[in-house]
A = this chain, B = another copy of it.
Amino acid sequence: MVSIKDVAKHAGVAISTVSKVLNHYPNVSEATKRKVNEAIKELGFVPNAVAAALSSKRSGRVALLINLNTQRQAIDEISMRYLSGAINRAVELNLDVITVFFSMIRDKSLEEIVRYLQSQSIDGIIIFGMSTKDTVLHELVESQIFKIVLVDAPVINESTSCVWVDQEQAQYDVVKHTIQMSRYHYKKLLYIAGKREAYVTENRLHGIERVAEEMKLELTVRDGDFSELAARNITLEAGEDADIIACASDLMAIGAMRALIDMDVFHPVCGFDGITLMGYAGMQMNTAKQDFAMIAARALEEVNRLLTGGEGEEIIVAHTLERLQYLDIIC
């Protein structure tokens, strides 16, 4: 392995000088900078990230903490898009990422988690889908030991940012749009909400309430728990009585729609997320699409900003309205 020492020798300068040009220090003359860069190119030198991390105490390593929910199976898609969005941006920002699943740190104390992360020289974390019930994660955020970006959870402090789409507006938009697409005059709206401990749930509820009020709809809210099966059962039980069904996730929307099909009644259904799966389910419905890869990329930029001295802030990203069909997907 060619090291910084070789480069120094080859360029006829001191080791520290090489280090300085590598890290873009200001006080290096153009001449030596050029000499060093040539040597680097000639030797094909690539700085050893591990050594740099050890030496500088600042690693540029960030952990992607993701809640891989094995119960909601099809949700693989969302996790994967988060991951690929984050990882791709990471190479652009020259950060290292490691992926950690919630399952690995569940049942661990704050101390254990902190030490694990520190043993990995991690100084930034992105947490995807933290809920109000994840108390240890909240402690982690409050401890401010790491720079943290929360996706879909609205907590902020000096070293914590959050990024998410405007859930309230998105939920409002998709329902309103669904209603306006039809000329029929709807009266009863059944809303199948997500898990109560999810931060997004509350926000989406506000969106639903706003649209119901504005359009003079009789609103019924049921807890679907983000579960497809629960949504299905709720629909079997209360779906006939509604004119339109809105769901807090695409998966629940699929469950609801399947139930309607079994009941042989038709009501418009709308979802939330915009997963590709929807196109395969063979059903037409509106959804509020979130660009998961983009959100993750944005989160990475944000953690990078925090790592370079920025303060925590809230970042809202845009959603779009979608209506996917099978042929749209494969073509």
A: which residues have CB within 8 A of B? 1, 44-51, 53-54, 59, 68, 73-74, 76-77, 79-81, 83-84, 87-88, 91, 96-101, 103-104, 111-112, 115-116, 118-121, 227-229, 232, 254-255, 258, 276-277, 280-282, 326, 329-331
> Interface on chain A toward B: helix, strand, loop, or mixed SS?
helix
- A294 nearest CB across to chain B (Å): 14
A228 to B282, CA, bound (A): 15
Q: Which residue of B lies closest to A112 (CB)?
A: B44
* Sample of 19 A–B contacts (CB below 8 Å): A44-B115, A48-B54, A48-B119, A48-B121, A50-B53, A50-B54, A68-B80, A73-B276, A76-B81, A77-B77, A79-B80, A87-B100, A88-B101, A88-B103, A99-B99, A228-B330, A232-B330, A258-B326, A281-B281
Determine which of B1, B44, B84, B329 lies in contact with A101 in the assembled complex, contact meaning CB atoms within 8 Å: B84
A144 to B277, CA, bound (A): 40
Determine which of B44, B83, B87, B280 lies in contact with A111 in the assembled complex, contact meaning CB atoms within 8 Å: B44
A147 to B44, CA, bound (A): 22
A-B pairs with the 10 shortest C-beta distances?
A46-B119, A76-B80, A46-B115, A80-B80, A50-B121, A228-B330, A229-B330, A76-B77, A280-B281, A282-B282
- A104 nearest CB across to chain B (Å): 6
Determine which of B54, B79, B99 lies in contact with A54 in the assembled complex, contact meaning CB atoms within 8 Å: B54
Do A51 and B49 touch across chains, with their CB atoms under 8 A apart?
Answer: no
Residues on B with C-beta less than 8 A from A87 are 99-101
Known A-B contacts A48-B119, A53-B50, A80-B79; A280 and B98 likewise in contact (beta carbons under 8 Å): no
Residues on B with C-beta less than 8 A from A282 are 281-282
- A61 nearest CB across to chain B (Å): 8
Q: Which residue of B lies closest to A43 (CB)?
A: B115
Residues on B with C-beta less than 8 A from A88 are 101, 103-104
Interface centre among A50, A53, A73, A121 (most CB of B within 10 A): A50
Q: Which residue of B lies closest to A121 (CB)?
A: B50
A53 to B111, CA, bound (A): 23
Q: Which residue of B lies closest to A109 (CB)?
A: B44
A101 to B86, CA, bound (A): 12
A100 to B101, CA, bound (A): 17
- A329 nearest CB across to chain B (Å): 7
Q: Which residue of B lies closest to A119 (CB)?
A: B46
Do B47 and A119 touch across chains, with their CB atoms under 8 A apart?
Answer: yes
Residues on B with C-beta less than 8 A from A48 are 54, 118-119, 121
Do A49 and B80 touch across chains, with their CB atoms under 8 A apart?
Answer: no
